[in-house]
Structure 1
Amino acid sequence: MRPIDERAIRASLRNASRKEAADMNLPAGFRDIDFSRLDYLGWSDPKSPRRAYVLVEVDDTLAGVLLQQAEQRVIARAQCSWCDDVTLRNDVQLFTARKNGPAGRKGDTVGTLVCANFECSANVRRLPPLAYPGFDREAARDQRILRLGEHVRAFVRALDA
């Protein structure tokens, strides 16, 4: 991901009103983020815990999405829809996003199960366990990184459908 600044983030929010964009709080330690190790940037608003944001490059354009966290945690151990990691010990949370345009104004949303703390970029960069003799762990990791980007971009594109 390319480095971004606060103004670019606010301007990129596709499904947020001007007031919602203005009320957005940046993640803690924003200035220290290493964007080269991220496939997307996601965080929960420190002042409004059920509000979250995701930023990803879609067709060479920064696309930001305002998310709403479900009130209740997922009860069963769910798999993150973005990083597909089944070995994680962290929580997976249901997030919804208002669709763009007339559908969003009617209240239509799209939901997804995502790692609660948006640590998917770190998860996919860990070498997977050896599945069988001769298993190419590096190639598997590279595929997981590619799929993560595809999953996040597909979610953002679904908001336009």
Structure 2
Amino acid sequence: MKPLTEQDIRTSFVNCSKGEAKRLHLPKDLAERPWDDLDFLGWRDPGAPDRSYLVAERDGRPVGVALRFPTQQRGFLHRSMCSLCLTTHPGSGVSLMTARKAGPAGREGNSVGVYMCADLACSLYVRGKKVPESGGRLQESLTLEEQIARTTGHLFAFLDRLHV
């Protein structure tokens, strides 16, 4: 993924108002992000524990989505798998992220959900740059490039359901 500026990110959001996009908290470490290893930029909002954001490059332009997730924690013995990168995590390491649909459907309250790594680090898990806490990645016969393509394919399918 190519590096994004604050302006790129704020103007990319498709499922929130311009005012909401202007007020959201951006990561302070944009310059230090491992852009070459990211399929999307994802972060949690430090000011709102039930919100996170995701920006992916789609058709040569950034597309941002505001997400919500439950704050209720699961027990450590519970294990879940991310539906994007297929990484398993204990406890609340995977969460149902919901996004309001874009356009009129979203204004009517319609949303779409996907189970994702709660820290939004799918790209780093797939590439082995980050190891899940007491979780793991399945041993796969797919090449790294095929795993990356599968992860981005799952992400784009989610974005398509938002009508992005």
- Note whether the superposition's TM-score is higher than 0.5: yes
* 2:105 matched residue in structure 1: 103
- Could you list the per-position Cα deviations for residues 83-136 of structure 1 after superposition, in whole angstroms to 9, with x for gaps in the alignment? 0123x45710111000011110110000111111111111111296766xxxx5
* 2:36 matched residue in structure 1: 36
Q: Distance in 1 between matches of 2:115 and 2:122?
A: 12
More helix by share: 1
Alignment RMSD (CA, Å): 2.1
81, 85, 88: which one pairs with 1:79? Answer: 81
| Amino acid of the structure 2 residue aligned with 1:111 | G
- Could you list the per-position Cα deviations for residues 25-51 of structure 1 after superposition, in whole angstroms to 9, with x for gaps in the alignment? 111422211211101110001111211
Q: Distance in 1 between matches of 2:66 and 2:79?
A: 25
User: Where does structure 1 lack aligned partners over 5 or more consecutive residues?
Assistant: none
* 1:25 matched residue in structure 2: 25
User: Where does structure 2 lack aligned partners over 5 or more consecutive residues?
Assistant: 130-136
* 1:125 matched residue in structure 2: 127
* 1:154 matched residue in structure 2: 157
Structure 1 pair 108–130 and aligned structure 2 pair: CA distance change class (3 A): closer
* 2:146 matched residue in structure 1: 143
Q: Distance in 2 between matches of 1:56 and 1:157?
A: 12
Q: Percent identity?
A: 38
Q: Distance in 2 between matches of 1:152 and 1:109?
A: 16
* 2:94 matched residue in structure 1: 92
* 2:132 matched residue in structure 1: none
